Amino acid sequence: MLVKMELNSAKAELINGFFETYLTINESEEAELMEEIKQLDKQESEQIFKLPNSWREKGIAEGIQKEKKQTALEMLREGLSVELIAKVTKLSPNEIEDLRDTL
């Protein structure tokens, strides 16, 4: 709806920020929204993904965590200590021990 209103970027970000803060959606609603976005034409869907949103932040955080765990796994394979891995990756020793159990 924000895209179709053709608001300037400042107004769109303000309204989007309100929705992100006060009107959070659950996983099924998010899946439904993603299906609706897929139905839009390419230009409209690209504009939606330019808006700041919690999905992007969530995806970035998950990607960072995944990268840290991958790095920790590689360090474990090289035989480095849990303490050093924790210091470098900022993962907790418990998280690293759990990763070690997967090797």
39-98 pLDDT per residue, tens: 877 777 676 666 656 566 777 788 899 999 999 999 999 999 999 999 999 999 999 999
User: pLDDT tens digit string along 22-49?
Assistant: 777 788 988 887 788 778 777 776 766 6
Of all residues in the chain, what percent are helix, strand and coil, respectively (each to 5)?
80, 0, 20
Domain boundaries, the chain: 1-52, 54-103
| Confidence band for 7, pLDDT divided at 50, 70 and 90 | low
pLDDT of residue 23: 75
User: Between the CA of residue 74 and those of 40, 66, 87, what are the distances in Å?
Assistant: 41, 12, 15
